[in-house]
Every structure is written in structure tokens, then in C-alpha cells.
């Protein structure tokens, strides 16, 4: 149990350490990251669709 709480503690520490991105968030960087998010969301949606299709088809 203590090991698990240690792990969560470590994750919180990592999250706080890297809370702020160090790269300067210029307009181009922001747009690139936005496109990347949209791309990944579309890809994940497609994978879920495919997974559901496989499961429903048996």
C-alpha cells in the first residue's frame, strides 16, 4: 500500500515538475500542438470504431 502511495506521490511530483512547458509557446507551436491533438483524437476514434466493429461482428 505504501509503495502504491509512493508511486502516486512520485507521479504528482513529476506533474508539478513539468507543469509548465519550457518551450516558448509561439503561435506556430500552439497551432502545431492543436493539429496534433485533433489528429490523435481522430485516430483514437477510428481505432475505437474498428474495435467495436470487430467485437460486434464476432
Partner 1 sequence: MIIRPSATACRKGGTARVWNKDKEMNFFARLYYPLRKAWKAVGLYLVIAGPGIVVMVADNDAGGITTYAATGAKYGYHLIWFLLILIPVAYYVQEMTVRLGAVTKRGHAEAIFDGFGAFWGWFSLIDLLIVDWLTLVTEFVGMTAALAIFGVPPWITVVAVIMLMAVIVLNGRYWTFEKLALLFCALNLVYIPGAFLVHPSVRDILHQGLIPNFAGGFNGQLFFFLMANIGTTIAPWMLFFQQSAVVDKGMLEKDIPWGRFDTLLGSIVTVVVAVFIVIVTGTVLPGIDIDSAAQAATELMKTDRYVGTFLAIGLFDAGLLGAICISLASSWAFGEIFGWAHSLNTKIRQAPWFYTTYFLMLITSGLIVLIPNAPLVLITLFVQVIAVTLLPAALVFLILLLNDRTTMGERRNTLTQNLIGGFIVASIIVLSTLYGFSVLFPNLFK
- Minimal distance, residue 23 CB to partner 1, in Å: 4
- Rounded to whole angstroms, how far apart are CA atoms 22 and 3? 31
Give the interface with partner 1 as residue ranges (CB under 8 A).
Answer: 10, 14-15, 18-24, 29, 32-33, 36, 39-40, 43-44, 46-47, 50
Comparison of 1 and 22: residue with beta carbon closer to partner 1: 22
Upper half-sphere CA count for residue 10 (Cβ side, 13 Å): 6
SS3 58: coil
- Minimal distance, residue 47 CB to partner 1, in Å: 6
Amino acid at each position: 500500500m505504501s509503495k502504491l502511495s509512493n508511486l502516486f506521490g512520485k507521479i504528482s511530483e513529476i506533474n508539478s515538475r513539468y507543469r509548465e512547458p519550457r518551450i516558448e509557446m509561439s503561435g506556430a507551436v500552439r497551432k502545431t500542438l492543436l493539429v496534433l491533438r485533433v489528429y490523435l483524437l481522430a485516430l483514437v476514434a477510428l481505432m475505437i470504431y474498428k474495435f467495436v466493429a470487430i467485437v460486434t461482428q464476432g
